[in-house]
Chains A and B, each alone.
Chain A
């Protein structure tokens, strides 16, 4: 960095398209609220609800213009609950698309037209929709999709699995991974703010582990529902809004740049880099809103576990079990996969002797990502990982550590 970025005292710029305190365009019981207040100062009350209900509660306060739904387990409930919000007047439009490719294209159309758009998908739906994601990023559409991750390959499984997040990594989208219901609530609301920043302006996938987060109940602190985010301002976009109200009038989003000459290749190449640059620019806003991109506990210990999503919850319990056996282990939780917290991870793990990466997928891709940013990466044990919705008991993680230490295990060590 060319300057140290002060994220503690960073105040998000106010919205100029509406007055804070004005009644919402959609629901007159809600008022536009300064995000700085909503996130940091508003009084919260605890609620006990499922992840799907948490998604609904976040969207109730998100002031979205439009949402498109399509059923696929385990996001169907959340998508239907957003429909209830629509029926109650919380957003401008809502409908069921024909399949996820259609849904994501409908979201794109609405975003091209200057709307704040939210949708949800999962597993095979993510893959069916896939062609849209790099298009969203290339077109700088700040759409938010909540991905409730599940198995994607044959034989069919509706169980949790994080492989689809791996596929999303190089789409040019921001990829955040929620561990808990509270993360999910916070990430959805804060995700809109970061994604819509004029210098970021990218789509965001807020991912969570299907069932573990969507279908279990958890306590979540909710601000009063009278608060709602200010609306998206399409005229702060780094690209032209397609509403015939913005200059220039001769405008295609986006023209082909593939004539066979060097100059057009430069446009294509620079465009790709600009999307990556925008991901980089999101770091300072993300840190200001959700804290550091990683969360560390006891990283002065020689053994560290690092992961994202509910693998972190399982690791936390494994660390407690290992503690009972006198084995001290530290923990690093990754909150954003894109931008990837490479410097933070390298710093947090600089003194670790052994690093374990528990994952809910057969590939162990997070371990590969981590290995790529660490010196002496033979310290990294790519495991344990499970797949196909198999549960990953904390004992399995603890056994992985014991095995690596040459200790006796309970025999539950599993490799997907």
Chain B
């Protein structure tokens, strides 16, 4: 939304619950330096959520919402699952329609927004679970990559169907015993990052959400690359502590274990040479901008 549209009508301002007043005054819409470090210092774009206590998905959501380069011009597309219980509380327009069609919806949405707002960069971001991305929606996920659709796909990989009670999914590791895998899953975890790389994604990253800096950087990369080049893909390990038998406080340890050497979620990042060059340039520009801003602040303080 053009940032100036996110304000409360003056005549009715004092009726609005403070959470909305905060959203207008203290949220970081339009701030090009926004990032995960704003959490705790500014109003977050997520009001409340009904996820389980300690669910890593909730922290992933918060990092992502804090790190979007332009939330005022972003529309999310979600799918059925735990994420869709959070989305009503998110202060960015978002769509849930069916289970598994998220990349198809995003394809139509991105094209419509491009037609309607040819001069504004409207970011479309898909955020769905692994069942939606890899099982029921795999066709639509991959076909959007084949077509070169210019949006980012984020998969919250918790290696099972959490919202329906812990059934086997394609991203579950081999041998794991779960509902619908009564003798253990019989085939390997689907290698979607590699599939994404081969299917036309210009930037791919697979990681856990244990390191907010890294989540922020990867998300910004993915969205900037999607604007310029085409599809990008991020797979985030957000373990379902409930279904793997962990305590609320054990999510972080689970993620750290799985990203250690030899783990399933050792950080990996693929990008084309063109993208590498582009991101290098963007980083340099960012650095220069921040340096100039710092200098200007110093000058202003002197004056």
Contact-residue size bin, chain B (C-beta under 8 Å from the other chain): 35 or more
B190 near A: Cβ within 8 Å? no
Contact-residue size bin, chain A (C-beta under 8 Å from the other chain): 35 or more
**Which residue from A97, A139, A242, A254 sits with its C-beta under 8 Å from B109?**
A242
Which chain A residues lie closer than 8 Å to B72 at the CB level? 244
A253 to B1, CA, bound (A): 16
Which chain A residues lie closer than 8 Å to B105 at the CB level? 105-106, 108-109, 112
Whether A135 pairs with B75 at a CB distance below 8 angstroms is no
**Which residue from A102, A103, A110, A139 sits with its C-beta under 8 Å from B97?**
A139
Smallest distance from the beta carbon of A77 to chain B beta carbons, Å?
23
Please give me the residue from chain A that is nearest to B78 by CB atom.
Answer: A252
Which chain B residues lie closer than 8 Å to A249 at the CB level? 1, 5-6, 23, 91-93
**Which residue from B23, B96, B104 sits with its C-beta under 8 Å from A255?**
B96
Which chain A residues lie closer than 8 Å to B106 at the CB level? 109
Whether A92 pairs with B113 at a CB distance below 8 angstroms is no
Smallest distance from the beta carbon of A133 to chain B beta carbons, Å?
11
**Which residue from B84, B91, B108, B147 sits with its C-beta under 8 Å from A108?**
B108
A15 near B: Cβ within 8 Å? no
A132 to B97, CA, bound (A): 8
A131 near B: Cβ within 8 Å? yes
**Which residue from B74, B108, B112, B147 sits with its C-beta under 8 Å from A105?**
B108
Whether B5 pairs with A102 at a CB distance below 8 angstroms is no
Please give me the residue from chain B that is nearest to A255 by CB atom.
Answer: B88
B47 near A: Cβ within 8 Å? yes
A249 to B16, CA, bound (A): 14
Smallest distance from the beta carbon of B77 to chain A beta carbons, Å?
7
Q: C-beta contact mask, B227-267 vs A, less than 8 Å → 1, else 0?
A: 00000000000000000000000000000000000000000
Smallest distance from the beta carbon of A147 to chain B beta carbons, Å?
19
Smallest distance from the beta carbon of B144 to chain A beta carbons, Å?
9
A165 near B: Cβ within 8 Å? no
Whether B97 pairs with A135 at a CB distance below 8 angstroms is yes
Whether B112 pairs with A109 at a CB distance below 8 angstroms is yes
Which chain A residues lie closer than 8 Å to B98 at the CB level? 105, 131-132, 135
Whether B75 pairs with A242 at a CB distance below 8 angstroms is yes
A371 to B203, CA, bound (A): 60
A19 to B101, CA, bound (A): 37
Whether A102 pairs with B140 at a CB distance below 8 angstroms is yes
Whether A252 pairs with B107 at a CB distance below 8 angstroms is no
B94 near A: Cβ within 8 Å? yes
Smallest distance from the beta carbon of B79 to chain A beta carbons, Å?
11
Q: Is the interface of B mostly helix, strand, loop or mixed?
A: helix
Please give me the residue from chain B that is nearest to A141 by CB atom.
Answer: B97
**Which residue from B6, B84, B108 sits with its C-beta under 8 Å from A109?**
B108
Smallest distance from the beta carbon of A203 to chain B beta carbons, Å?
13
B143 near A: Cβ within 8 Å? yes
A93 near B: Cβ within 8 Å? yes
B18-64 contacts to A (CB < 8 Å): 23, 47
A252 to B127, CA, bound (A): 13
Whether B113 pairs with A243 at a CB distance below 8 angstroms is yes
B100-126 contacts to A (CB < 8 Å): 101, 104-117, 122
* A95-B147, A115-B112 known; A250+B90 contact, CB < 8 A: yes
**Which residue from A102, A106, A253, A255 sits with its C-beta under 8 Å from B139?**
A102
Whether A93 pairs with B75 at a CB distance below 8 angstroms is no
Please give me the residue from chain A that is nearest to B117 by CB atom.
Answer: A243
A172 near B: Cβ within 8 Å? no
Whether A105 pairs with B97 at a CB distance below 8 angstroms is yes
Whether B2 pairs with A245 at a CB distance below 8 angstroms is yes
**Which residue from A115, A131, A240, A256 sits with its C-beta under 8 Å from B116?**
A115
Whether B96 pairs with A93 at a CB distance below 8 angstroms is no
Smallest distance from the beta carbon of A178 to chain B beta carbons, Å?
26
B296 near A: Cβ within 8 Å? no
**Which residue from B89, B97, B101, B116 sits with its C-beta under 8 Å from A114?**
B116
Whether A109 pairs with B115 at a CB distance below 8 angstroms is no
Smallest distance from the beta carbon of A93 to chain B beta carbons, Å?
5
Please give me the residue from chain B that is nearest to A92 by CB atom.
Answer: B115
Please give me the residue from chain B that is nearest to A109 by CB atom.
Answer: B108
Binding site for B on A (CB under 8 A): 65-66, 68, 92-93, 95, 97-99, 101-103, 105-115, 117, 131-132, 135, 139, 240, 242-247, 249-256
Binding site for A on B (CB under 8 A): 1-2, 5-6, 23, 47, 72-75, 77, 84-85, 87-98, 101, 104-117, 122, 139-140, 143, 147
If A247-B5, A252-B90 are given as contacts, then 5 extra A-B residue pairs at C-beta distance below 8 Å, sorted by A number, are: A66-B115, A102-B139, A105-B108, A106-B107, A253-B95
By Cβ-Cβ distance, the 7 closest A-B pairs, closest first, are: A109-B108, A113-B112, A105-B104, A92-B115, A110-B108, A109-B105, A105-B101
